[in-house]
Amino acid sequence: MLERRSIHNLDWLLAFAVLSLCAAGMGMVYSATLGGPLAPLAAKQMIYFAVGLAAMGLALTIDYHTLASLSYLFYAGSLVLLLYLLFFGRAIANTRGWLELGPVNFQPAEITKLTTLLALSSYLSRHRSANLTPSNMLAIVLIVGVPFVLIARQPDLGTAITFLPLIAVAAFLGGMRVRTILILVTIPILALPLFWNHYLKDYQKTRVQTFLDPARDPKGAGYQVLQSRIAVGSGGLSGKGFLEGTQGQLKFLPAQHTDFIFALMAEERGFLGSLVVLSLYFVVIYRCIAIARAARDLLGVYLAMGTVALFACQVLINIGVVLGLLPTTGVPLPLMSYGGSSLITTLAGMGLVLNVWMRRLVN
């Protein structure tokens, strides 16, 4: 349990950056949904934030070693939920990724990120060796690969891709040889033609083609990217002002409260506001890495580095999509986009990292 002396060891800079991003996100969700049928979502996001704070507090209170000891049970439970969705889940927006709990929809894929991280960290801390053996690597790929496949089958390839950094972190921290890493990187590159012809669905191919040339279908598949670029570019240095953006307030920007919330931020707050938000994300990433370096054991190192890998991957993918640097994937911006599943899970993950920091000096 949490001791009083541990509270004094809280990483207040990380906590401040995380809460500041949440506050900015709630403000942007309010702006994105004002004056329309989505207006109640701003109040819901505040409720999700309160639940997320509770999850963060719970992740702080329980020693991360205790959580790791139950990791395989958590992991198995999350896989059961994913399997249930594949067979019995109701398709929402052509994806069987949501579990309906009365008036609330929950996305099990989000919580599976944490359970997979816990299971992987627990395994690696118990089977640490000078270099990763083939059996170790196979176990790592299986731990991450099973939820990856189940989520990709929903189909939700964007969310599934965010699991892959866990393998990279495990390989890096596990001392994998450079030759092995190069082989692992080369294999998927060589498999791209097969992946394109036999796995990607038509709408996913369209997203890639639109990324390469948004103007080929400006009123259809390319509409989101073009409107996002207009919103970002029109913000200028200081922005048009809160609730004053034209693309956002006139609802030209699709999914502006979820996937494209950063475009709304750039339009209303401009380059300077966007720079502040990006700086806060940098602080979160930097402090997580610093906490990993200060962790008292390998379990803490893997938990902190795995959390920051998941977090940074989502940030880079989302902002890359908003700026037109990556194909549209449907990955939310952590701590800012509307959505209870993502917000609660991300706050719980940050609670785990703070947990590692507070207990770094415990004997």
Give the global pTM.
0.90
Helix (H, G, I), strand (E, B) or coil at 28: helix
**Amino acid letter at 45?**
Q
* Nearest of 361, 312, 359 to residue 59 by alpha carbon: 359
Q: Which of 59-68, 194-203, 256-265 has the lowest mean pLDDT?
A: 194-203
Percent of the chain with pLDDT over 70: 88
d(CA 69, CA 65): 6
pLDDT in tens, 152-186: 998 888 899 999 999 888 888 877 766 776 777 78
294 pLDDT exceeds 80?
yes
pLDDT in tens, 214-258: 666 666 667 778 888 889 999 999 999 998 888 888 888 888 999
In this model, does residue 119 exceed pLDDT 80? yes
Coil, strand, or helix at residue 101? strand
Q: Of 149-158, 282-291, 350-359, where does mean pLDDT reach its minimum?
A: 149-158
Task: Give me the pLDDT at residue 129, please.
Answer: 61
Rounded CA gap, 288 and 312, in Å? 10
Pick the most confident of 16-20, 124-128, 255-259. Answer: 16-20
DSSP string across 249-287: HTT-STTTTTTTHHHHHHHHHHHHHHHHHHHHHHHHHHH
Q: Give 100's strand partners.
A: 105
Cα(313)–Cα(316) distance, integer angstroms: 5
The pLDDT assigned to 130 comes to 58
Q: Over 207-252, what HEC string results?
A: HHHHHHCHHHCCCCCCHHHHHHHHHHHHCCCCCCCCCCCHHHHCCC
